[in-house]
Structure formats: C-alpha cells, structure tokens
Amino acid sequence: MIGILGGGQLGRMLALAAARLGMRTHIFCPDPDSPAFEVTPHKTVAAYDDEAALAAFADAVDVITYEFENVPAATAEFLAARKPLRPGANALAVSQDRLAEKGFLASKNIPVAPYRAVETIADLEAAIDALGLPAVLKTTRLGYDGKGQRVIRERSEAASAFAELSPKPLVLEAFMPFEKEISVVVARNASGEVRAFDAAENVHRHHILFTSTVPADIPPGVEKHAAMLAKVIVVALDYVGVLGVEFFVIPGERPTLMVNEIAPRVHNSGHWTEAVCLTDQFEQHIRAVVGWPLGDPARMADVVMESLVGDEVRIVPSGLDGNTQPHLYGKTEVRPGRKMGHVNRITRR
Amino acid sequence: MIGILGGGQLGRMLALAAARLGMRTHIFCPDPDSPAFEVTPHKTVAAYDDEAALAAFADAVDVITYEFENVPAATAEFLAARKPLRPGANALAVSQDRLAEKGFLASKNIPVAPYRAVETIADLEAAIDALGLPAVLKTTRLGYDGKGQRVIRERSEAASAFAELSPKPLVLEAFMPFEKEISVVVARNASGEVRAFDAAENVHRHHILFTSTVPADIPPGVEKHAAMLAKVIVVALDYVGVLGVEFFVIPGERPTLMVNEIAPRVHNSGHWTEAVCLTDQFEQHIRAVVGWPLGDPARMADVVMESLVGDEVRIVPSGLDGNTQPHLYGKTEVRPGRKMGHVNRITRR
C-alpha cells in the first residue's frame, strides 16, 4: 500500500501506475473533490497538519510519496518518523526554497543563473547593481506556474515589485537570454540505479506548460550534458524517485545549459512518456519508491504533449486527430487556467 | 459513470483505461475480494440475480458493460431495460452458446470447423459417423480455459465423454489439424466505425493462454483476411465494444482460417496492445461503449505477451529483463493456475 500526499492529477496518475503494478494506493488530500479519489477506495480527507489523520495514514501504508513539492516540513518530518518517505525530506527542503535550491546546485557546480538574496529594498538595489537589468524578482517559497515573480526592466519598478511580492525573503535572478527551455525527467532508486528519459523541449503559455516536444531540437552533446547534470543532481541528493529538472539553453557558438529549477516529483513535461515509453514516468516513480529495479525509459516514437487548459478540454473526443492519445484528469468543473488534461500526439514512428 | 459487471483483471484494466479518459467506474461483482475493487471507490458486492442491487447499480451509472461473456441472460435483460448495455444482449446470447455461435458464424459464411449438436448418445454416435475421429466433444455453455471439453480419439471413449460432460446439450466438433492459432481483437462503435488491432499468434499451456506474439508469423494475406472476418462479425452483430476472435490457421498450399470462438469483451490475447499501441484494447472498448470515436490501433514495435500464472508472478520484479513491461492484477492470493499478471516484452522497435 503506497501512501500519496496530494490528490491532484499527478497523484491520480501515480495511483493508476501503481495499480498496473498490482499495488494499492491511499490518497491523503484536504480537498474532498480531489481527482485522485476516483481511482482508489482508500483515502483520507484531512489537513496536512492534522496529526491524528497523518498518524492513521502512516499506519495504513507501507511507504509514502507525494505529488507536490510544497509538503509542509512538519508534515514530512512527522510522516518520515513513521514510514519511509520517498523522495526524502532533504529533497523537499532544497526544492521548497529557491535560495536553498540555487545554493545546493551551485555547490555541486551545476550552472544556475546569477542571483542574489533580497531581504530588504537596499538588498534589491545592490542586487540590481550587481546583476543588471532586466532581472526577475521571485519569492523564495510557494511559487508555481509564474505566480510569485515579477520581471524588473527599469530601476523605477523595483520598489513596487518588492512591495508586491510575498512572502519574503525574495531572490533576484539575472534575466537569461535563453533560446529555449528543455527538461529532463530522471529517476533514481534506493539501490542507486539512475535512468533519465529523453529531454523534452518546452513551450509555456501564460506561465503554464503548453507543449513538450520530444526529441528536443538541440545538439546531441547538449542533450547528453543535460541528462548528465540531472543524474548528478539525484546522486548528490541521495534521491529516491523521479525528479524533473528544467534547463535554459543559452545560445552561443556552443549552446550551454543552466538549471532553472528542479521539482522532486513526476513532472508535467514528462507526460509524453506515457504514450511512447515502455516504462512511463509514473511507473518509474512507483518502481523507485517501492524498491523495484527501474524500468526501461527508451522511447518508441517522436511525440508532442499538449496541455489542455480550461475550455480546451472540450476538443476531446470529437476534435482529436488520429495519432493522438488523450488523458483527462476527471475534474468535474472546467475553470479558466485549470489543467484539465493533456494529449500526446505521435509525430513520427 | 461506467458500470462494469465483473471485478476480475479485465474489469480492473477497463476501469484503469476509463480513468485515463477522465471517466468514473462502478464495479458490480459478487466476490468481495475482486481485484477491480481496488481501482475505484464505487462498487456493488451482490449476486447477479439480486434485482434490488442491479436496479441501484443501473441508477448509479450512465452505461453498462461487462468483462465476461457468461453474464446471465436475465441479468442482461434486466439491466438493458434500464441503461444502455454495450455490447448488447444479442452478443451475449450468441457467444454464451457454442451452437448458437457456430450457427451464427456459418450463417454469415464465416468458416468454422464442421460440428453436430449432441443431445443423446445416439446423436453422438451419428456425429462421429459424420465427422470422423479424432473429434472434440464440448459443452455448449459455460466452458472456458479448456474446461467443459474432451477429445475423443477412439469410439470406445464416446460413452464416458458423453456421461462426464455437463450441462447438456453438447456439441461435437471435427478436430482440425491446425498449424497455429491466431486472434484478432476488433472494435466497433455506435457510429459504425470499425478498427482491428494486428493479429497475435497464440500459444496455450494447460489450456491457458501462455504467449501472444505480434506480428503473427503468417502470410500478409492471411492476416488481412483474419481482420476482414473479424470486422464482418462485429458488423453482423451490430456490435458496440471490443470483441476477440480466435482463429485456427489450417495448413495448405494457401493457409486457410477457421473461427474457433468469439468473446464479446476485451481479450487475453490483446494485452500486448497496452505496451505498443497508442490506443490499447481497454481504451478502445471504453471509447466504443461511451460513444467516442475509436482510437488509433497502430502498433509501434514488435512484442510478446507472456502470461504469469500462479507462482510465475514471483519473477516480478527482480526477474524482469529490460524491454519488459509488467502488469500485475493485484490478486493477494497466489494459487496454481490462477492468472496473476502478464508481461509485455518488446522484441524489435
């Protein structure tokens, strides 16, 4: 019995993958309408700080994982004392805080954009002096899908950006003139096996992932380098599970890579694996967290994943082309900006 | 909400496919330990003749399908009066009775092995005179996995075979000197769209499917002919859903085909589709029964499906090769002869 914190679409897809491997899942989520509750009879509807509910959940499962990186540290600690928590609490600590994440990456010689910690408006002025403009001011915690960040193009915008963003502290990042964004989904299991899926080239729209195209249009050496950096990260974290690594590709005579961010979980930009890999990212994560050998991430075809956001979900089923595999998340209410599903489109066999 | 009669592995895999399409499932099964109960929170544990339970089940769902062909006729009739039952009751009537099935196929000029109805021992003697020996005596109803049949090689075995088999009536079939068995899984939806997966070459062991190999080692013309015959069958039945058709390949200068039997459901010999097709047989069945367009059954790689029966399941996970996708059914008790799971092995990309 695998316990999963979070009942959204990622938790749902993890539960479906676990079921294919003959395993049972128990979903813990405060929202009674969670999509993942529809794919298992075992659930807990409770707040993440409800210790009685957490204790009963831990008693009911053999291992615990999660679908989102913002699991409160106290929750992670409480659960990890009772049952194996995979990925571990250190992966959460690093990825929940942009400063900790950049500090960790830099300490492993993984290239990241130049940055400065910003606690006061004076810090921000000094950071602008050091990094130049444009630059991006971000909260260190709880940002996602473009929330919690502002681009500063003129020094006159600094004060309002500082005032607007919370919680503090913030971080100012140099604005990288990147050519494209790619990502690598990598897995490591408890025995230390490490395997990466092919890199995807990602396009965002309104800060939400719009398409992931595989193979990415990058030189083979750059793709190999991205996979290597992703593997270095999971080894350095003594990580167990699947991790998503987003990179900027910086143009140049030889394009270079910088890590934008890491996510200690299955990743939107890995949804394409379900259509064309013998082992998809969800199965790979389950294999890792239960102590199985990792599966084969090799890819059988070229593919584009397209997100279905809000009303776009209405193209299913009649607007689907051949060569297309839909995946809907079972959300009953369509809202603007809500991720409702995705499609995987085979572009070349 | 899709209602599924039967809570075994086929019902479970149908429920998982429905979930990927964003749909909910309600499983109806008398066995409280049904594997399919682990992949949805909606279930009814009741006998198939419990009309109160059937009525409540029908009220709770939008459409009803099933994982096994031996749904009692009264159950099918009761449900079909309340909600759409797909495939329809005529498909059940034909496939539940070997005589009705052979009569139907012969009426559509689909080749079947010569046969005679056997109600009395005198019928059996006359049938042996007509068909010769060896021949196979079978119950007309409730046979599966080799149960309910006996090969008669000598006339002296006739009386004991007749006495042993029940329920009566029986059917005697000429023993076909077939070279191999193949099967085609075909789908038809309510709009009349028809699509077939590639043929699989099947090997049985102790009357249980052991391997399905795709592509089958048969001439292209024979495979095309098999697909055509499968399509003729679903059109003739005005069928909605996925149907499995088993063929004998009879050797000769030009090999010919005879239909062994049909199954109005997803089929063991179609499990390979999950690994290498953009739309697998389970999704195809769900698409058909809910009124969606059919998906693309094209195959991305060569594959062998191997059943895991009884203790064989213990090869998972440590005995798995690369190139292998396991699928376990979540059955808690391992018993000899019990289908515990299967693996799909990619043999050529």
- pLDDT confidence bin for B229, thresholds 50/70/90: very high
Same-domain pairing of A133 and A207? no
Residue of A nearest to B26 (CA): A38
Residue of A nearest to B301 (CA): A300
Q: What is the pLDDT of residue B144?
A: 66
Chain A environment of B214 (Cβ under 8 Å): none
Q: What is the span of the domain harbouring residue A241?
A: 180-348
Chain A environment of B275 (Cβ under 8 Å): 278
Can you tell me the distance from the alpha carbon of B231 to that of B245, in angstroms, rounded to the nearest whole number?
A: 10
CB–CB contacts below 8 A, A to B: 105
Mean pLDDT value across residues A231-259: 96
Domain end call among A174, A197, A217? A174
Chain B environment of A40 (Cβ under 8 Å): 38-41
The answer to whether residue B293 neighbours chain A at the CB level (below 8 Å) is: yes
Chain A environment of B318 (Cβ under 8 Å): 293
Residue B93 placed within a domain: no
- pLDDT confidence bin for B349, thresholds 50/70/90: confident
Q: Which residue in the set A41, A331, A341 is minimally distant from B37, CB to CB? A: A41
- Best to test chain A binding among B9, B21, B278, B348 (most A CBs inside 10 Å): B278
pLDDT of B148 > 90? The answer is no
Residue of B nearest to A326 (CA): B21
Q: Alpha helix (H) ranges present in chain A?
A: 9-20, 51-60, 73-80, 89-96, 98-107, 121-131, 158-164, 220-236, 273-276, 281-290
Can you tell me the distance from the alpha carbon of B288 to that of B267, in angstroms, rounded to the nearest whole number?
A: 15
- Asked if B287's CB is within 8 angstroms of A328's CB, the reply is no
Same-domain pairing of B219 and B293? yes
% of chain A exceeding 90 in pLDDT: 93
Q: Give the HSE-up count for residue B198: Cα atoms under 13 Å, Cβ half-sphere.
A: 23
d(CA A339, nearest CA chain B) in Å: 13
Q: Which residue in the set B295, B318, B328 is minimally distant from A21, CB to CB? A: B328
- What's the mean pLDDT when you consider all of chain A? 96
Same-domain pairing of B135 and B261? no
Q: Which residue in the set A39, A295, A330 is minimally distant from B39, CB to CB? A: A39
Task: List pLDDT tens digits, range B191-213.
Answer: 999 999 999 999 999 889 999 99
Chain A environment of B39 (Cβ under 8 Å): 16, 19, 39-40
Cis peptide before B255 (omega within 30 of 0): no
Residue of B nearest to A344 (CA): B278
Q: Where are the beta strands (DSSP E) in B122-193?
A: 135-139, 149-152, 170-174, 180-188
Same-domain pairing of A68 and A28? yes
Chain B environment of A322 (Cβ under 8 Å): 296
pLDDT of B190 > 80? The answer is yes
Can you tell me the distance from the alpha carbon of B56 to that of B296, in angstroms, rounded to the nearest whole number?
A: 35
Domain end call among A174, A204, A222? A174
% of chain B exceeding 90 in pLDDT: 93
Can you tell me the distance from the alpha carbon of B34 to that of A253, in angstroms, rounded to the nearest whole number?
A: 61
Q: Which residues of B are annotated as a binding site for ATP?
A: 98, 138, 143-149, 181, 204, 260-261
Residue A49 placed within a domain: yes
Task: List pLDDT tens digits, range A118-159.
Answer: 999 999 999 999 999 999 999 998 766 667 899 999 999 999
The answer to whether residue A319 neighbours chain B at the CB level (below 8 Å) is: no
The answer to whether residue A279 neighbours chain B at the CB level (below 8 Å) is: yes
Q: Which residue in the set B16, B37, B323 is minimally distant from A20, CB to CB? A: B16
Chain B environment of A292 (Cβ under 8 Å): 317
Same-domain pairing of B214 and B343? yes
Q: What is the pLDDT of residue B146?
A: 67
Q: What is the pLDDT of residue A207?
A: 87
The answer to whether residue B318 neighbours chain A at the CB level (below 8 Å) is: yes
pLDDT of A177 > 90? The answer is no
- Best to test chain B binding among A20, A33, A286, A316 (most B CBs inside 10 Å): A20
Nearest Cα neighbor of B239 from B107, B94, B52, B338 is B94
The answer to whether residue A310 neighbours chain B at the CB level (below 8 Å) is: no
Cis peptide before B317 (omega within 30 of 0): yes
The answer to whether residue A11 neighbours chain B at the CB level (below 8 Å) is: no
- Whichever domain contains A319, its CATH number is 3.30.470.20
% of chain B exceeding 70 in pLDDT: 99
Find tokens 């444009």 and name the residue. Answer: A134
Residue B330 placed within a domain: yes
Same-domain pairing of A168 and A195? no
Same-domain pairing of A205 and A319? yes
d(CA B104, nearest CA chain A) in Å: 34
- Strand order from edge to edge, sheet including B170-174: B115-118, B170-174, B135-139, B149-152
The answer to whether residue A276 neighbours chain B at the CB level (below 8 Å) is: yes
Q: What is the pLDDT of residue B333?
A: 94
d(CA B54, nearest CA chain A) in Å: 21
- Whichever domain contains B8, its CATH number is 3.40.50.20
For chain B, what is the domain count? 3
- Asked if B39's CB is within 8 angstroms of A276's CB, the reply is no
More confident residue, A112 or B166: A112
Same-domain pairing of A186 and A335? yes
Residue of B nearest to A26 (CA): B38
Q: Is A181 annotated as a binding residue?
A: yes
ipTM topping 0.90: yes
Distances in Å between the Cα of A324 and the Cα atoms of A115, A201, A317 are 41, 19, 10
- Asked if A330's CB is within 8 angstroms of B23's CB, the reply is yes
Chain A environment of B279 (Cβ under 8 Å): 325
Same-domain pairing of B123 and B10? no
Can you tell me the distance from the alpha carbon of A174 to that of A177, in angstroms, rounded to the nearest whole number?
A: 9
Contact indicator for B348, B302 with CB cutoff of 8 Å: yes
Mean pLDDT value across residues B267-279: 97
- Best to test chain A binding among B27, B34, B38, B323 (most A CBs inside 10 Å): B38
d(CA B145, nearest CA chain A) in Å: 23
Q: Which residue in the set A20, A296, A341 is minimally distant from B22, CB to CB? A: A341
Same-domain pairing of A79 and A199? no
Residue B100 placed within a domain: no
Task: List pLDDT tens digits, range A276-334.
Answer: 999 999 999 999 999 999 999 999 999 999 999 999 999 999 999 889 999 999 999 99
Residue B325 placed within a domain: yes
Can you tell me the distance from the alpha carbon of A101 to that of A110, in angstroms, rounded to the nearest whole number?
A: 11
Contact indicator for A168, A233 with CB cutoff of 8 Å: no
Residue B332 placed within a domain: yes
Residue B296 placed within a domain: yes
Domain end call among A64, A85, A106? A85
- What's the mean pLDDT when you consider all of chain B? 96
Q: Which residue in the set A292, A298, A320 is minimally distant from B293, CB to CB? A: A320
Q: Which residue in the set A19, A296, A320 is minimally distant from B322, CB to CB? A: A296
Residue of A nearest to B340 (CA): A22
Contact indicator for A304, A212 with CB cutoff of 8 Å: yes
Q: Which residue in the set A23, A24, A328 is minimally distant from B22, CB to CB? A: A328
Same-domain pairing of B286 and B137? no
Same-domain pairing of B223 and B147? no
Residue B74 placed within a domain: yes
Nearest Cα neighbor of A128 from A138, A140, A115 is A115
Can you tell me the distance from the alpha carbon of B179 to that of B252, in angstroms, rounded to the nearest whole number?
A: 9
Beta partners for residue A205, in sequence order: A208
Q: Which residue in the set A23, A39, A329 is minimally distant from B40, CB to CB? A: A39
User: Which two structure tokens, joined as six digits, stand for B321?
Assistant: 């090769």
Contact indicator for B47, B5 with CB cutoff of 8 Å: no
Q: What is the pLDDT of residue B143?
A: 66
Q: What is the pLDDT of residue B145?
A: 65
The answer to whether residue A190 neighbours chain B at the CB level (below 8 Å) is: no
Nearest Cα neighbor of B69 from B268, B209, B265, B235 is B265
